[in-house]
Amino acid sequence: MLEIQERFDTAGYEHIIAAAGINNVHITEALVGGNAVGYIAYAYEAERTVVYDYSDGGDLMLCDGLVRSVMLKSAMKGIETMAFEFTDKNKLASLVKLHFLAEGSNVCENVDSFLNACEHCKK
């Protein structure tokens, strides 16, 4: 069974933290049977959440779950903007396919409205 859990240490992710250039990077992992099958690395700022990297093994649904988990945490903190600060064009293209980003943008505005959009689907 898939679980998405925040890690409380950053062992094994030092290269991502070094690339981000900051120390307050959070890591959330996707786990199957206790083994990591994906992750997302991000940090909270006053007005936005910055995503520095993610790995989904090419699974769009896993990407969706990882990003939504960070969106939910951001919304609970009152943060409405997420910026994706990496240059991997394939990862950005996945985020466009999932409608997190508009083509040519690396910023998702109005996180709370994005999360609540699915409420209309239930009706």
Domain ranges (residues) in the chain? 2-122
Choose which CATH entry (3.30.1330.10, 2.130.10.10, 3.50.50.60, 3.40.630.30) describes domain 2-122: 3.40.630.30
The length of the chain, given as a count of residues = 123
Whole-prediction pTM value?
A: 0.90
CB 57 within 8 A of CB 38: yes
Q: What are the phi and psi torsion angles at 18 (to 5°)?
A: -65, -40
In the 8-state DSSP scheme, what is residue 118?
G
Distance in angstroms between the alpha carbons of the first and the last residue of the chain: 28
The tokens describing 76, both together, are 């609970």
Question: What would the pLDDT profile of 38-81 be if each residue is shown by its tens digit?
Answer: 999 999 999 999 999 999 999 999 999 999 999 999 999 999 99
Residue 59, pLDDT score: 95
The pLDDT of residue 119 is above 70: no
For the chain, helix, strand, coil in percent to 5 are 35, 30, 35
Cross-strand pairs, 107: 83
